[in-house]
Structure formats: structure tokens, C-alpha cells
């Protein structure tokens, strides 16, 4: 059981690396917005949509890593079941209609914990981006009072 948990921790650390790389990319993306002099609602919506798609892609990559890990270790017979289980576990939906073999049950719990933490991180990144837009919007709409 210790070996399985150590492997799961390695997958979790790999998920963090994927998310960190994506987060760095998104920071660069938000710094590109800095020179914009004119913030409009369509631009903000477009940027948020792109941001969302990048975050969604990160989460899909992370669940794919778990699913491929389960296939490699022989926990599931087919790819569809492995991906289904991984998505259900990572998102903590957990219907319970597909379960890991007994020796691997704690690994599923670690995947769920990783998913919760990384969704929290994604939420923080989204909040940071919307805060940046708010700063730009406020700076653009400052009413200058004449003395």
C-alpha cells in the first residue's frame, strides 16, 4: 500500500507542475493586458473565455494523467472507464458506480484531494484576473474633478 501511495503522490506533484506551468502562462497572458488603454466588455469576455479554456485544458490534462496511471497499473480494463473514474474522482462528484481495486482505494482519495486543491488554485487565478480587469476599468473610468 505504501508503494501505491508514493506513486499517487508523484502523480499529484506532476499535477501541481502542470498547474504551475499553466499559471505562469496565465500570468504572462494577464501582463499582456497591462498596456491596453481601452477596456471594453467584449474584450473582457473574450479574455475570460480564453482564460477559462486554458484552465479547463489544465484540469483535463491532470485527470488524463491520473487515468493513464490507473491504466498502467491495471486498475481498470479500458480507457473509457479509467477516464470516467478519474474525472468523477478529481471533481469529487464520485458517483460510486466505478471503484478502484481494494489496494488502490486510498489513491482515489489522494486524487480527489488534489482536484479540490487545484480547483481552488484555479479559482484564485480567475479572481486575480478579474481583479486586474477591475483595476483597468476603474483607472479608465476615473472622473476627474476640477477644482
Residue 136 near residue 33 (C-beta atoms within 8 A): yes
| Residue 116 backbone zone (phi > 0: left; psi -120 to 50: alpha; other: beta) | alpha
| Separation CA 4–CA 75 (nearest Å) | 11
Q: What pTM, to 2 d.p., does this model score?
A: 0.84
pLDDT, mean over the chain: 86
Domains of the chain plus CATH, in order, are: 2-31+39-125 (1.10.287)
Profile the chain (147 residues) by mean pLDDT over runs of 10 residues.
Answer: 88 95 81 63 81 93 97 95 97 92 91 96 88 74 56
Amino acid at each position: 500500500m505504501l508503494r501505491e501511495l508514493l506513486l499517487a503522490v508523484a502523480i499529484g506533484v506532476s499535477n501541481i507542475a502542470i498547474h504551475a506551468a499553466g499559471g505562469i502562462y496565465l500570468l504572462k497572458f494577464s501582463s499582456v493586458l497591462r498596456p491596453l488603454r481601452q477596456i471594453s466588455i467584449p474584450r473582457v469576455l473574450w479574455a475570460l473565455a480564453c482564460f477559462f479554456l486554458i484552465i479547463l485544458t489544465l484540469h483535463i490534462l491532470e485527470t488524463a494523467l491520473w487515468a493513464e496511471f490507473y491504466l498502467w497499473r491495471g486498475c481498470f480494463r479500458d480507457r473509457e472507464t479509467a477516464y470516467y473514474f478519474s474525472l468523477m474522482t478529481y471533481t469529487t462528484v464520485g458517483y460510486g458506480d466505478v471503484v478502484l481495486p481494494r489496494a488502490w482505494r486510498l489513491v482515489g482519495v489522494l486524487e480527489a484531494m488534489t482536484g479540490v486543491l487545484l480547483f481552488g488554485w484555479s479559482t484564485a487565478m480567475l479572481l486575480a484576473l478579474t481583479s486586474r480587469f477591475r483595476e483597468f476599468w476603474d483607472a479608465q473610468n476615473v472622473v476627474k474633478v476640477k477644482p
